[in-house]
Structure 1
């Protein structure tokens, strides 16, 4: 019997880089989403310009990887998200943006609080991770990153992920 995974693996062919490789745009369709293939938890877009919609999960894990970054530069990682009017479960439990340069890199992270009381009327906004630290002797050109809330075990929903981005930080 062939086991079919409930997790969605992103379509990396939809990632777009500017000509200098300084700005990378990752649509929702290119993100790996735990439980993403299960329609009880997520509504995934067919169109790369549409957001992935979280219906309900107790384990939020959305990640990706980009290649071709300059190991000597610092980068910012972020997600473009929105909260639906009926979003729930976000007020007490922050999300974390985590990233690392290469398989052996040091993990950088930032805690971000989302407040459903303020509701943003489905207007997308950015949440931004810390700058990547430049590590000595690092030559790996891959950058791994993700958005997580896996520690509370509480149900949450109403989040729309429009995409992610990686951009070279100002020196």
Structure 2
């Protein structure tokens, strides 16, 4: 991951990445998934003690199949309720069913791009894509 030190901090692969300060949060990834399966998308995150700007921010988790696919999204609870202990989100699940035919590249992300408030102190431990049985 290419990092701007004013926005992100963290270089070791096993440590969480720290959001230092941004007014636009967009954390994205993609992965190839199997046709005919259902997947749950989420992130394991926490907030530092000095985190700021998360009160009332509309944070969304979104996922779609293929670059031109339609997003499935869920509005998360404001992140200011999180503590220093890492927790998996969402409480509301983001799940996506991969049809038997068509796209199998899953694009996903965590977004807060509407508020314009400066925010920081978010720790992202990892993203996960789980097959739902």
TM over 0.5: yes
Q: Which has the higher strand share?
A: 2
Q: Quick one: distance in 1 between partners of 2:124 and 2:74?
A: 18
In structure 2, what is the equivalent of residue 57 of structure 1? 22
SS at match of 1:130: strand
Alignment of 1:60-99 (within 5 A): 60-67=25-32, 69-99=33-63
Shift of 1:115: 4.1
Unaligned runs of 5+ in 1: 1-7, 10-36
Q: Quick one: distance in 1 between partners of 2:49 and 2:82?
A: 6
- How much is the aligned-residue C-alpha RMSD, in angstroms? 1.7
Contact 2:39 2:131 in 1 (8 A): yes
SS at match of 2:94: coil
How many residues get paired? 131
**Of the candidates 89, 103, 107, which is equivalent to residue 127 of structure 1?**
89
The TM-score normalised by the length of structure 2 is 0.89
Larger radius of gyration: 1
Cα distance change of structure 1 residues 119 and 65 upon mapping to structure 2, 3 Å threshold = closer
In structure 1, what is the equivalent of residue 76 of structure 2? 112
Structure 1 runs of 4+ with >4 Å offset: none
**Of the candidates 107, 116, 123, which is equivalent to residue 153 of structure 1?**
116
Q: Quick one: distance in 2 between partners of 1:166 and 1:115?
A: 21
